Amino acid sequence: PPGSKNKRKANAYMTRKEENDLELAIKLRNDRVITTPGAPFEASDDQEISDLVGRGVFKFELYNEEAHGGIRIF
């Protein structure tokens, strides 16, 4: 909220290990060791989201201004 000390952070921080993993994935893709189509980790991210939805951890809802207006959705 305005005036709050809890300001939203504009930056996303990655650990050094995450950065190294991403760099390695890009290098292996460029060297044609990884041949899976899509961006690095795209398939595993899709699988993880599908598993979470399947277990009922969260669900997708269409945005409805009347129901969701004025609230923050994460």
Mean pLDDT in residue range 1-29: 75
Phi, psi of 61 (to 5 degrees): -130, 145
- What is the distance between the alpha carbons of residues 35 and 29, in angstroms, rounded to a whole number? 7
Of 70, 48, 74, 50, nearest to 61 by C-alpha is: 74
pLDDT digits (tens, 9 = 90+) for 18-71: 888 889 988 998 998 887 777 777 778 888 889 999 999 988 888 888 888 887
- The pLDDT assigned to 66 comes to 87
- The pLDDT assigned to 61 comes to 83
* Separation of CA 12 from chain center: 11
Between these two residues, 11 and 40, which has the higher pLDDT value? 40
What pTM does this model have? 0.40
